[in-house]
Amino acid sequence: MYQSLTFFHSLFRWLVLVSLLYSIYRSTRGVAFNLPFSKMDDTTRHTTATITHIQLLIGMILYFESPIVRYFLSQRNKAGQPSDFSFFGLVHPFIMFAAVVFITIGSSVSKRRKTDRDKFRILLIWCSVALLLILMAIPWPFSPFANRPYFR
């Protein structure tokens, strides 16, 4: 089960990034050109939030199944934890959860705004902050906190 979930986790991480970037693109375009908030914009908003929530569920399952996290949880009282264990046991899940919260709030608030410009503006702000959080929580190969190769 762990192996099949890691496949879906890998797939959905890219879907989250692509849908989030597309939402930001459409929102930027809508604000810049004062466009009407179309059915496609609403579908993009909703799809981005849905994909993000699916990724959150998969990530939560993998979090508790991960050998790195299990080690971190069993050794968390010891001083001098290696940064990879702290990053994947604590930092990564909390920042990613915060990003999901930002996407959810942005989607929900923008849906309820009256003017199209406000819908785009709210979505742009909240999704942009979520994207920054996600980029901070990725274990880039150059990261001082934890690093992973681009391709395994």
Q: Which domain holds residue 108?
A: 2-72+82-137
Residue 78 confidence (pLDDT): 67
| 26 in any annotated domain | yes
The answer, yes or no, to whether residue 45 has pLDDT greater than 90, is yes
Number of domains in the chain: 1
Confidence label for 9 from pLDDT (cuts 50, 70 and 90): confident
The answer, yes or no, to whether residue 49 has pLDDT greater than 80, is yes
Start-to-end CA span in the chain (Å): 20
| 53 in any annotated domain | yes
pLDDT, tens only, 58-107: 999 999 888 888 888 887 776 556 567 788 888 899 999 999 999 999 99
Count of CB atoms within 10 A of residue 17's CB? 16
Residue 80 confidence (pLDDT): 55
From 10, 13, 57, select the one nearest 152 (Cα to Cα).
Answer: 10
| 103 in any annotated domain | yes
Distance, CA of 118 to CA of 62 (rounded, Å): 37
| 151 in any annotated domain | no
From 130, 126, 141, select the one nearest 17 (Cα to Cα).
Answer: 130
| 147 in any annotated domain | no
